Chains A and B, each alone.
Chain A
Amino acid sequence: MIEREQVLHVAKLARLRLSDEEVERMVGELSGILDHVDRIGNLDLEGVEPTSHVVALENVLRADEPRPSLPRDVALASAPEPQDGAFRAPSPQAE
């Protein structure tokens, strides 16, 4: 079961804005999913190592050799708001 307050908090963390209607729906849907998922909480998994890496590899590294960078115009080609060779974004809110 997830509470409305938690949904609002999580939305903030995820930088999502939900309408009141979406919040309501989310509370219901997430609660349903979490109820199902919560079952794993009851399992006795004492001593079981969590899988953090699927392939048994170590030390996969790259030589410190330069590779060509993108020409700047290509780097900025997709930018929603290029300015003076940089990516423009709004500032954090003035407080």
Chain B
Amino acid sequence: MADLEAVIGLEIHVQLATRTKMFCGCELSFGDEPNVHTCPICLAHPGVLPVPNEQAIRYALQIGLALGCEIAPRSIFHRKNYFYPDSPKAYQISQYDIPICGPGRLGDVRIHRAHLEEDAAKTIHVGASGRIHGSDASLVDFNRGGTPLVEIVTEPDLRGAAEAAEWARLLRETVRQLGVSDVNMEEGSLRVDANVSVRPAGSEELGTKTELKNMNSFRFLQRGVEAELARQRELVEAGGTVTQETLHFDPASGTLTPLRSKEEAHDYRYFPEPDLVPLAPTEEMLREAREALPELPVARIARYEEMGVPGDVALTLATDPRTAGYFENVVEEADGIEPRVLANWVTGELAAALRQAEVEGGAADSRVSPPSLAALVRFVQEKKISHGSGKIVLAAMVVEGGDPAAIIEREGLAQMSDSGELEAIVEKAMAENADAVEKIREGNGKAIGAIVGAVMRETKGRADGGEVNRIIREKL
């Protein structure tokens, strides 16, 4: 049987961090008592009418521009009709065939569309078992109902669970840096559903997809998609066919259960919302949205890669704009040293030193100023101190700040530059480790470690390891 490839698309809901709801002036709620942020509009009393939140439109434009989307010159709202207690009007105001944002791209994944809609209310199921099946009743809290959402739909361009989780992280970071949402999966301000299918590798046709819901962390997203891909692969390889269904991820067990399909698939009976007029973003709105965009992760990553920083390190740096800013300052101060080396120090040695010292915050909050880190790295690069000594100095700087030169002087860490002195110590170490020398001569190269170790101990790490190796081999 031909190899099956995974085909994954994501459907993302971003809760916007506006002050008020999408269609009324109620404030957004954060863990408040139930039903303290409601009004006749979001409770859908008879006779009420929606009026769209201007800031939500602006935020949606920013998201669209950050994702490289075509912005529709004119888009309209539609009603999506369905009955459920969390849907007070029995329709959700959304966008259907003319959304505010059209095709775009983020990294390697194409965006199909993005549109505005309102969030449903929260339903707490109460009853004997506390689970949805077998519960007695629903208690509905309308605080969340009406919160502005942007729904982003990707093309099915992802080919694996890990890739999906990583791209979702990139999306999250991109939106977070716009400042338009908390995008917190655990809190629900970012929700990611996955559409998963498999097909023979090389095929252009799409297989039947299943929809995965309720994965409220990137880890769960990856696990859920992995589990579903495994299930589909097994099924198809055994000659079965995948049924289109919605699967609910259970974090406790890490498994997916089909959500019992309602009697029939929903017929949402979409029609244009007569109570709202079209959106036609003006030149000024677009300009303001564009100007509000910070340098986004994808652009920054590309810039760092151009400087020679490897992709994975660039991603780590770009993920936190403050660390990225710190790194760029270091690069400026360390004029001449390869950014690749500086990036490794920032994401590697410095990060480790901060963790070791249990210092809160990142590089930008630390006591290690960019000029002092740059100076330290220069010392190491110029072999004035060994790499190991560099780490010792860094550890000290993390705690006390200060200037590396002073610390090197104080601790006496200056690299042994007198090769005569070093040679003498090497000879002594070789004499004291004659059996190791024997082993090296017999072909066991690794035995050199014992001699190098002895030299390092004697020099208190101030010798340059590479130099020590060279002298030993010379003397063999």
Contacts and interface: CB of A to CB of B under 8 A. Distances in A.
Q: A and B bound?
A: yes
Interface of A: 12-13, 15, 52-55, 57-70, 72, 75-76, 83-92, 94-95
B39 A70 contact: yes
A13 B402 CA distance: 73
Contact of A87 (B39, B142, B260, B277): B142
A91 B137 contact: yes
Nearest to B131: A94
Interface in B187-212: none
A27 to B, nearest CB: 20
A84 B55 contact: no
Q: By DSSP majority rule, is chain B's interface helix, strand, loop, or mixed?
A: loop
Contacts, number: 127
A12 to B, nearest CB: 8
B312 interface: no
Contacts of A60: 51-52, 276-277
Contacts of A12: 263
B320 interface: no
A67 B25 contact: yes
B296 interface: no
B34 to A, nearest CB: 5
Nearest to B148: A64
A67 B48 CA distance: 15
B116 to A, nearest CB: 12
A91 B133 CA distance: 9
A80 to B, nearest CB: 12
B136 A65 contact: no
B278 A62 contact: no
A81 to B, nearest CB: 8
A49 to B, nearest CB: 12
Contacts of A67: 20, 24-26, 39
A87 B34 CA distance: 10
B54 A89 contact: no
A71 to B, nearest CB: 8
A83 to B, nearest CB: 6
Sorted from nearest, which 3 A-B pairs have the closest CB atoms?
A: A67-B25, A64-B55, A86-B139
Interface string B124-164: 11010000111111111110000000000000000000000
Nearest to B33: A85
B19 A58 contact: no
B382 to A, nearest CB: 56
B20 A76 contact: no
A61 B35 contact: no
A71 B15 CA distance: 25
Contacts of B25: 62, 65-68
Nearest to B261: A95
Given A15-B83, A59-B279, A61-B54, A85 B34 contact: yes
Nearest to B262: A92
A35 to B, nearest CB: 22
A55 B276 CA distance: 10
A64 B27 CA distance: 9
A19 to B, nearest CB: 20
A74 to B, nearest CB: 9
Contacts of B141: 85-86
A54 B134 CA distance: 47
B52 A61 contact: yes
A83 B34 CA distance: 11
Indicate the member of B25, B83, B125 with the most A CB atoms within 10 Å.
B25
A15 to B, nearest CB: 5
Contacts of A53: 76, 272, 274, 277-278
Contacts of A13: 267, 269
A40 B262 CA distance: 35
Contacts of A89: 85, 137-138, 140
Interface in B2-51: 18-20, 24-27, 33-40, 43, 51
B57 interface: yes
Contacts of A83: 137, 139
10 contacts: A13-B267, A54-B274, A58-B279, A59-B281, A62-B51, A67-B26, A69-B39, A70-B43, A89-B137, A91-B136
Contact of A59 (B35, B43, B85, B280): B280
Most A-side CB within 10 Å, residue of B20, B57, B276: B20
